[in-house]
């Protein structure tokens, strides 16, 4: 509640105030009114509604939370640059000795120094500048566009339009020169196709459209050691082409990775290969120079596995490529040497035959491969699964599944025998059944133990265990009245032992001790490990 800074309040006044606040929050009492006659929200916390003591607020109000400082008359206007006011006919006292203006002194004059100032010549008196003062707010002082004339931007637009117009005219002149050159050479009309004529001729309407002239140009900042330079990069992608991820909208089709913009598999595998222009990134990865690059990586990886760790494709690609080239040359020489050795030993039967049958020239194989009209493979050369450098499908200890193929209770194991120990020997289905029987036996024992403990719950409530933890049978039940009597007898016995004069001559001894008497003896006897033993007697 919005409260004023008041003095001490009694407990009764404080209680009434709390009840009133609760009633206002519940809507049972009207809201409190401030100085200006506005209702105060009863749910406002006290640390916000209570006025500071130094304001000396007599009435409840939220004025201390509002902006109480009066803002000056801030303005958004700016200086009128270059504006002049009054121009005098003769020099005035206190004016600038150089130009004759009253708004500045001689040291601050921005006009060229005259040979004879206006003070002495009394001619060409400069007009007074327009002096303005503004009260700007925080943002107005730091606004870098304050006072900017938007009409000046039209000059920037005109300059860029003139540049584009000059570029279009230059390109048009270049195309016309090429066309005139072709005509001067008297090229036959039959040799010059219609496509070349259309490419050479530029329509005036197309030449005026600057977007079509520069649609494939991208101004890109290239980082160099000299500080950077701007170059023109050609964008090879035509925007009219359909994006690869829109070729097949089926969720179960080829996966498209948005981070690398790659789609490895064919999005339309059932479409005619003659009609589709995109068959997946693997089509390019498995052809051309990509295969040579893949072989180079495999060669570098094999060298590193054999111990030549200095060969690294990422750290020294030139070295890896040179070693791969040497390896291919050595392999080719070795192949030729083996071939020559075989020919020297067994002869060359192919050289002696003059006419080789056509069937042997083209070769034969039982592999069924289908091709289309363009020579592309349709069926028969499926992609092979790449081999990993890690061991796969290696079964140990008679297991038929790998480690990690089974999961239960936050533990990995083998699926064949459901064991969670990695170096265990596989027991098969028999081990699974034995584990289930052991688990069932464990559950039955737990249930039987719980049932037995519930049956003995009545006796446990009446049992009184020994005080100092001495061993006692579980079936001992102490009687409360007999225990009290035994405690009294133990106190009398203690007193008799202290004063031997009260000891009687006719002492009767009973060797039958009841559980209550034994418990009383344990409760009253002194223990050596008791820290309060010295304070008992």
197-239, pLDDT tens digit by residue? 555 554 444 444 444 444 445 454 445 444 444 555 555 556 6
Specify if 365 maps to a domain. yes
460/202 Cα distance (integer angstroms): 108
User: What is the structure's pLDDT at 462?
Assistant: 44
Specify if 458 maps to a domain. no
154: which 2 tokens?
């039209």
CB burial readout 360-380, b (16+ within 10 A) else e: eeeeeeeeeeeeeeeeeeeee
Is residue 279 scored above 90 in pLDDT? Answer: no
Q: What total of structural domains would you count in the chain?
A: 3
User: What is the structure's pLDDT at 208?
Assistant: 46
Specify if 309 maps to a domain. yes
Specify if 18 maps to a domain. yes
341 and 308 within one domain: yes
- Phi-psi group of 155: left, alpha or beta (phi > 0 → left; psi -120 to 50 → alpha; rest → beta): alpha
CB 49 within 8 A of CB 110: no
DSSP state of 8: -
Mean of all residue pLDDT scores within the chain: 79
Half-sphere exposure of 186 (CA within 13 A, CB side): 0
368 and 296 within one domain: yes
What domain range is 15 assigned to? 11-65
Specify if 434 maps to a domain. yes
320 and 355 within one domain: yes
350 and 296 within one domain: yes
The answer, as to whether pTM is greater than 0.75, is: no
Q: By C-alpha distance, which of 324, 273, 289 is closest to 303? A: 324
DSSP bridge partners of 230: 221
Specify if 182 maps to a domain. no
Is residue 112 scored above 50 in pLDDT? Answer: yes
13-44, pLDDT tens digit by residue? 989 989 999 999 998 999 999 888 889 999 99
Show which of 391, 424, 451 is a domain's final residue. Answer: 451
Cα angle for residues 268, 272, 277 (degrees, 5° grid): 65
54 and 22 within one domain: yes
237/215 Cα distance (integer angstroms): 11
Is residue 99 scored above 90 in pLDDT? Answer: yes
300-346, pLDDT tens digit by residue? 888 888 887 778 888 888 888 898 999 999 999 999 999 999 988 88
Specify if 35 maps to a domain. yes
User: What is the structure's pLDDT at 210?
Assistant: 46
378 and 342 within one domain: yes
């Amino acid at each position: 509640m919005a409260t004023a800074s008041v003095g001490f309040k009694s407990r009764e006044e404080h209680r009434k105030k709390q009840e009133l606040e609760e009633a206002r929050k519940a809507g049972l009492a009207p809201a409190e009114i401030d100085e200006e006659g506005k209702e105060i929200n009863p749910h406002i916390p006290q640390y916000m509604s209570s006025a500071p003591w130094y304001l000396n607020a007599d009435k409840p109000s939220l004025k201390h939370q509002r902006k109480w400082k009066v803002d000056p008359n801030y303005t958004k206007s700016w200086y009128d640059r270059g504006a002049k006011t009054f121009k005098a006919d003769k020099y005035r006292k206190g004016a600038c000795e150089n130009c004759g203006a009253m708004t500045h002194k001689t040291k601050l004059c921005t006009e060229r120094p005259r040979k004879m100032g206006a003070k002495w010549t009394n001619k060409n008196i400069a007009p007074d500048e327009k002096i303005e003062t503004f009260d700007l707010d925080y943002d107005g002082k730091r606004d870098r566009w304050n006072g900017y004339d938007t009409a000046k931007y039209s000059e920037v637009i005109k300059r860029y339009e003139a540049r584009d117009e000059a570029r279009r005219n230059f390109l048009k002149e270049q195309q016309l020169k090429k066309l005139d050159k072709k005509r001067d050479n008297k090229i036959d009309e039959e040799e010059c196709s219609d496509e070349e004529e259309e490419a050479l001729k530029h329509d005036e309407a197309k030449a005026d459209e600057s977007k079509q002239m520069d649609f494939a140009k991208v101004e890109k900042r290239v980082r160099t050691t000299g500080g950077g330079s701007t170059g023109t990069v050609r964008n090879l992608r035509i925007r009219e082409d359909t994006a690869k991820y829109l070729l097949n909208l089926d969720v179960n089709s080829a996966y498209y990775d948005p981070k690398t913009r790659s789609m490895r598999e064919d999005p339309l595998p059932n479409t005619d290969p003659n009609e589709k222009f995109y068959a997946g990134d693997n089509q390019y990865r498995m052809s051309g120079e990509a295969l040579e690059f893949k072989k180079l990586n495999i060669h570098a990886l094999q060298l590193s596995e054999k111990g030549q760790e200095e060969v690294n494709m990422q750290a020294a690609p030139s070295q890896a490529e040179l070693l791969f080239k040497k390896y291919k040359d050595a392999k080719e020489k070795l192949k030729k040497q083996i071939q020559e050795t075989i020919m020297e030993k067994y002869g060359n039967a192919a050289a002696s035959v003059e006419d080789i049958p056509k069937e042997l020239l083209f070769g034969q194989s039982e592999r069924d491969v289908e091709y289309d009209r363009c020579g592309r493979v349709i069926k028969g050369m499926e992609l092979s699964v790449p081999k990993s450098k890690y061991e796969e499908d290696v079964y140990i200890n008679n297991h038929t599944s790998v480690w990690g193929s089974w999961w239960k209770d936050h533990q990995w194991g083998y699926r064949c025998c459901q064991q969670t120990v990695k170096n265990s020997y596989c027991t098969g289905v028999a081990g699974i059944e034995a584990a289930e029987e052991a688990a069932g036996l464990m559950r039955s024992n737990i249930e039987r133990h719980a049932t037995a403990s519930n049956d003995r719950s009545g006796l446990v409530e009446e049992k009184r265990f020994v005080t100092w933890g001495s061993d006692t049978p579980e079936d001992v039940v102490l009687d409360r009245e007999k225990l009290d009597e035994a405690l009294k007898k133990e106190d009398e016995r203690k007193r008799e032992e202290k004063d031997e004069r009260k000891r009687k001559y006719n002492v009767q001894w009973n060797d039958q001790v009841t559980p209550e008497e034994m418990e009383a003896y344990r409760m009253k006897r002194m223990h050596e490990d008791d820290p309060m033993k010295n304070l008992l007697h």
